[in-house]
Amino acid sequence: MRGRAIILTATTFIFLLLLCSCKRAQTLDTDILAKVKDRTLSRADVLRIIPKSVTSADSLLIAENFIKKWVKDALVYDVALRNLSDEKAEIDQLVEEYRHSLFRYRYQERLIKEKLSADIRVTDRINYYEENQKKFLLDKGLIKGLFLKIPIDAPGLSDVKTWYKSSSMESLEKIEKYSVQNAIFYDYFYDRWVDFDDVMANIPIHVANTNSFLRENKTVELSDSSYCYLLNIKEYLPVGSVAPYEYAEPQVIELLINQRKMEFLRSFEDELYQNAIRSRDVVFSKEEESISNQ
């Protein structure tokens, strides 16, 4: 038990050095933390899985658990290799088939995104949207407005509480100038629709019924021990209404792409096939050639 405690302390010490080295921007890729046969785990591998927001204590715990799990996985893998030698050829074939499918899928997705989406005309998008509005009913409320999160002890807070309720250019200019130095968060969205739930996630208040809340509240003004939250709702669309075209457009494009994807890929593969035959990148045996030409 005493020996194990020494190992854990050493691991912790190594990781502390790892964190310090990272702050000094030194190269960590060649620093090895663990080795099992010919497999190695570097400091960079461990750093990659540590979330930036966690505490130092949590970072050490995550790193220690990750290193231990990596070693165990490497040991099990080594045992599996020795005991499944008779199945190695089958496994290698399955891996290669998966690799082939993955490359094919990734390339097709990129091709569709680059080529097909560019071919969908604006008129096609608008026509599809207008003819299929039941597909674009909102499951969330949408709003236009502005939102501010300001420290409770910020100067001039009473002035901001007056400005944020107005959509005049003068008030907006004052808010923007004020926010540069004082606001923790400022979002202006008078000119675009945003999800009501996404905005309310920044405010410590529970909304039981979105539609009722939007009907009854044009502004939200709330404070806790640290911050003041100010929301001005200029316009809203309730849950169940048809999403406006500018908000629904990405979904319209995705639906149209899905409609045309199979035909696009079929045409692409046929063209690739014919070009390969003409350039003799594909060569058939005599028997297969006579079959393919039928």
pLDDT in tens, 100-154: 999 999 998 888 888 887 778 999 999 999 999 999 999 999 999 999 999 999 9
> Would you call 40 helix, strand, or coil by DSSP?
strand
Place of tokens 């130095």: 181
C-alpha distances in angstroms, 50 versus 14, 34, 67, 250? Answer: 15, 17, 12, 33
Last residue of a domain, one of 192, 212, 237: 237
Same domain, yes or no: 33 and 101: no
Report yes or no on 103 lying in a domain: yes
Q: Picking from 22-26, 37-41, 162-166, 257-261, which range would have the lowest pLDDT averaged per residue?
A: 22-26
pLDDT at position 29: 45
pTM over 0.85: no
Same domain, yes or no: 163 and 125: no
Report yes or no on 285 lying in a domain: yes
Report yes or no on 242 lying in a domain: no
> Would you call 142 helix, strand, or coil by DSSP?
strand
Same domain, yes or no: 145 and 227: yes
Instruction: Dump pLDDT digits (tens) for 151-177.
Output: 999 999 999 999 999 989 999 999 999
Instruction: Provide the residue range defining the domain that includes 38.
Output: 2-83
- For the chain, how many structural domains are there in total? 3
Same domain, yes or no: 79 and 96: no
Same domain, yes or no: 162 and 195: yes
What is the rounded average pLDDT of the residues 37-48? 88
Query: What span, in angstroms and rounded, lies between the C-alpha atoms of 216 and 239?
Result: 15
Query: What span, in angstroms and rounded, lies between the C-alpha atoms of 9 and 31?
Result: 18
